[in-house]
Chain A
Amino acid sequence: MTITEVSAVDPVLERVKTGIEAFDDLVMGGLPRGRTTIVGGTPGSGKTVFATQFLAHGITDLQESGVFVTFEESPDEIEVNMASFGWDIRRWREQNKLVFIDASPRDRDELVVGDFDLAGLLARILHAVRAAKAKRLVLDSLTQLFDHFVADPTTVRRELLRIAAALKKEGLTVLMTAERNSEYGEITRHRIEEFVADNVVILRNALDKERRRRTIEVLKMRGSRHVEGEVPITLVENHGLVAVPLSSLRLEQQSSTKRVTSGNAELDRMTSGGLFRDSVTLVSGATGTGKTLLVTNFLAGGVAAGERALLIGYEESRGQLFRNARGWGVNFETMEAEGRLKVISLYPEAQSLPDHLLTIRELVKEFKPDRLAVDSLSALERIAPDTGFREFLISLTSFIKQHEIAGLCTATNKSLIGGQSASEQHISTLTDSIILLRYIQEGDMMNRGLMVLKMRGSEHDKHIHRFTIDGKGMHLGEPFGGAPDVFGDAAIVAPTA
């Protein structure tokens, strides 16, 4: 055995954190120090934000100065445009922590004849780098540089190669942005990535079912591993870009055997002692079958057991939720006043799914609940394309489990009887337990039935129990005598003779 057999390439590459939350995880800790990364994207995909955040993080958190070469917007424009992310660029410029090289298109009267080089640009960059003792360098965007010398792409290409080599010699970690013509096509205009980049990152801002969907993808990392595929990303005020990774989430959360009450003694019996501490339960049923009631019981049961409970409602206002609870003998006001409960009502259409996910994560971090209810997932599904919704669910359920929270989500069936909702299809494999609520016809009576369809890691009652709802809440009764078909179109029980 020799030392060279230790084939791990990763550890030798020192990492430079970008400050883009969760993105650094995708690239094993950050961008490799001393290397060049191309960030490609269509106009409006967030390239300049990414680049600025990369410099901002170095300045604010790691005492690493930066140089920003701008070929597009003027330094003053960047200063103004980035202010909403909470970056005080003016102050950094005054402190010489951030130096701009203004190569933005000025008013000019210029003629290019024959061969030239970009020694002027390189000299300016090196001058600024030394003046600021910079470790990080941004060139935004190379496409504009090509447009400036539009007749000589070959020369620009040759010169960029020279500049990249010179910057590497300086030990700078370089981030270059480049424009793309389409979301799924050639990587960048002028194929810049082919000749200067060690690493390639792509930002996308695709239109999917009339909604914008932002993602980030690490396409190439020379000599290093990275997480593959597109990851949702979002722009957050006072923060910048935040990636919402899914594939980097590993199924490593421990499985607890601790049970917590569902808030309904009879349901606890059906599930052999209640729900698991770190599990996610799906309650599925048509409108009016009692999903919100089950949620209310779940919250009240937790609070009664001394837990903290969080409800995020996407269908009803706080007022409606409170009134519903009161109708079932549960007083949300008192619970909130005691700080044991938090009820948040959000309008699904108000933000994108990744933003909703971030909101939930923020709420959980802030309130630290022991149990969390989401009512309903179907309302969120309306606003998202299929792939986006599935990613959202995966992230949400992993997040809930990682935080060892008991989660309860509801899904509304489209048809009144039987049937399956799409969210059910998506989530059924992701949740630990599924509870079905169904209308069941018996003769000329419409009754309600509850069944525990699945309960991971536990025995459970397999019967379909009838239940009633009154001013005190839900009352589970005896199993139905016949054999109603809870999945088919006609959940009818033949009247028992």
Chain B
Amino acid sequence: MRTNNGTGPAIRPILRLYLAGDAPAARRALECRKRIIAAAAEPLDIEIIDILEMPADAETAGILATPTLSDETVTPPRRLIGDISNTSQVLDYFGYRKKDATT
């Protein structure tokens, strides 16, 4: 589990969000992405990968399902598939602190 506690080089953490086009589920996932970034205690980037436009990326990463939120900086990649609307749960799963929790 990652804990970005300020020591070491300052890497801006990146997650990837794989989704398919602009289906309702994809749009919901994009909303969630915004809320997750806003809720994170540290700066957090979530890269969007539309697998319909970049199927080769889906192939490389071995993505079967969408939406998938993936941390590919660890081996094996840590992934959350499906519903990512529970912001606290998502941040907790990937080992990030939430703003509120820091106080």
A and B: bona fide binding partners: yes
Q: Find out whether the CB atom of B81 lies under 8 angstroms from the CB atom of A116.
A: yes
* Chain B residues numbered 14-28 whose CB sits less than 8 Å from any CB in chain A: 18-21, 23, 25
Q: Does A103 contact B (CB under 8 A)?
A: yes
Q: Does A109 contact B (CB under 8 A)?
A: yes
Q: Which chain A residues border B25 with CB–CB below 8 Å?
A: 115-117
Given the contacts A101-B59, A115-B25, A148-B64, A123 and B81 also touching, CB distance less than 8 Å: no
Q: Find out whether the CB atom of B77 lies under 8 angstroms from the CB atom of A116.
A: no
Given the contacts A115-B82, A123-B52, A109 and B66 also touching, CB distance less than 8 Å: no
Chain A interface extent, by class: 20 to 34
Q: Does B39 contact A (CB under 8 A)?
A: no
Q: B64, B76, B81: which contacts A111 (Cβ < 8 A)? A: B81
Chain A nearest CB from B86 CB (Å) reads: 8
Q: Does A106 contact B (CB under 8 A)?
A: yes
Q: Does B78 contact A (CB under 8 A)?
A: yes
* Cα-based distance from A148 to B77 in the complex (angstroms): 16
Q: Find out whether the CB atom of B82 lies under 8 angstroms from the CB atom of A120.
A: no
* Cα-based distance from A117 to B28 in the complex (angstroms): 13
* Cα-based distance from A458 to B23 in the complex (angstroms): 79
The digit string for B27-42, where 1 denotes a CB below 8 A from any CB of A, is 0000000000000000
* Cα-based distance from A149 to B93 in the complex (angstroms): 19
Q: Does B91 contact A (CB under 8 A)?
A: no
Q: Find out whether the CB atom of A113 lies under 8 angstroms from the CB atom of B76.
A: no
Q: Find out whether the CB atom of A102 lies under 8 angstroms from the CB atom of B62.
A: yes
Closest to B90 in A: A113
* Cα-based distance from A108 to B71 in the complex (angstroms): 11
Q: Find out whether the CB atom of A124 lies under 8 angstroms from the CB atom of B55.
A: yes
The digit string for B57-96, where 1 denotes a CB below 8 A from any CB of A, is 0110011111110000011111111111110010001000
The digit string for A85-127, where 1 denotes a CB below 8 A from any CB of B, is 0000000000000000111001111111111111111011011
* Cα-based distance from A119 to B20 in the complex (angstroms): 6
Q: Does B51 contact A (CB under 8 A)?
A: yes
Q: Find out whether the CB atom of A118 lies under 8 angstroms from the CB atom of B79.
A: no
Given the contacts A112-B82, A115-B83, A149-B65, A120 and B77 also touching, CB distance less than 8 Å: no
Q: Which chain B residues border A124 with CB–CB below 8 Å?
A: 51, 55, 58-59, 63
Closest to B52 in A: A123
Q: Does B56 contact A (CB under 8 A)?
A: yes
Q: Which chain B residues border A107 with CB–CB below 8 Å?
A: 75-76
Chain B nearest CB from A361 CB (Å) reads: 44
Query: Is chain A's interface secondary structure helix, strand, loop, or mixed overall?
Result: mixed
Of listed A108, A110, A114, A126, residue having the most chain B CB within 10 A: A110
Q: Find out whether the CB atom of B55 lies under 8 angstroms from the CB atom of A116.
A: no
Q: Find out whether the CB atom of A114 lies under 8 angstroms from the CB atom of B62.
A: no
Of listed B82, B84, B85, B86, residue having the most chain A CB within 10 A: B82
Given the contacts A108-B76, A109-B77, A111-B81, A116 and B66 also touching, CB distance less than 8 Å: yes
Closest to B70 in A: A110
Q: Which chain A residues border B78 with CB–CB below 8 Å?
A: 109-110
Q: Find out whether the CB atom of B66 lies under 8 angstroms from the CB atom of A119.
A: yes
Closest to A99 in B: B59
* Cα-based distance from A473 to B84 in the complex (angstroms): 90
Q: Find out whether the CB atom of A111 lies under 8 angstroms from the CB atom of B93.
A: yes
Q: Which chain A residues border B55 with CB–CB below 8 Å?
A: 123-124, 126-127
Closest to A152 in B: B82
Closest to A128 in B: B59
Q: Find out whether the CB atom of A113 lies under 8 angstroms from the CB atom of B51.
A: no
* Cα-based distance from A35 to B62 in the complex (angstroms): 27
Q: Which chain A residues border B80 with CB–CB below 8 Å?
A: 110-111, 113
Q: Find out whether the CB atom of A109 lies under 8 angstroms from the CB atom of B82.
A: no
* Cα-based distance from A112 to B78 in the complex (angstroms): 11
* Cα-based distance from A51 to B41 in the complex (angstroms): 51
Q: Find out whether the CB atom of A120 lies under 8 angstroms from the CB atom of B20.
A: yes
Q: A103, A114, A119, A148: which contacts B82 (Cβ < 8 A)? A: A114
Q: Find out whether the CB atom of A112 lies under 8 angstroms from the CB atom of B76.
A: no
Q: Which chain A residues border B79 with CB–CB below 8 Å?
A: 108-111
* Cα-based distance from A119 to B85 in the complex (angstroms): 19
Closest to B63 in A: A120
Q: Which chain B residues border A113 with CB–CB below 8 Å?
A: 80-84, 86, 89
* Cα-based distance from A145 to B25 in the complex (angstroms): 21
* Cα-based distance from A311 to B58 in the complex (angstroms): 60
Q: Which chain B residues border A118 with CB–CB below 8 Å?
A: 64-66
* Cα-based distance from A161 to B95 in the complex (angstroms): 36
* Cα-based distance from A124 to B55 in the complex (angstroms): 5
Q: Find out whether the CB atom of B59 lies under 8 angstroms from the CB atom of A114.
A: no
The digit string for A126-166, where 1 denotes a CB below 8 A from any CB of B, is 11100000000000000001001100000000000000000
A113-B83, A116-B81, A121-B65 known; 18 other A-B pairs, CB under 8 Å?
A103-B64, A108-B77, A110-B79, A112-B65, A113-B82, A113-B89, A114-B83, A117-B23, A118-B64, A119-B19, A119-B51, A120-B63, A123-B20, A124-B51, A124-B63, A127-B56, A127-B58, A128-B59
User: Shortest 8 CB-CB distances between A and B: which pairs?
Assistant: A114-B83, A127-B55, A119-B20, A120-B63, A116-B82, A107-B76, A114-B82, A116-B65
What is the interface of chain B, defined by CB distance below 8 A to chain A? 18-21, 23, 25, 51-52, 55-56, 58-59, 62-68, 74-86, 89, 93
The 7 sampled A-B contact pairs (Cβ below 8 Å) are: A106-B62, A111-B79, A112-B65, A113-B82, A113-B83, A120-B65, A145-B64
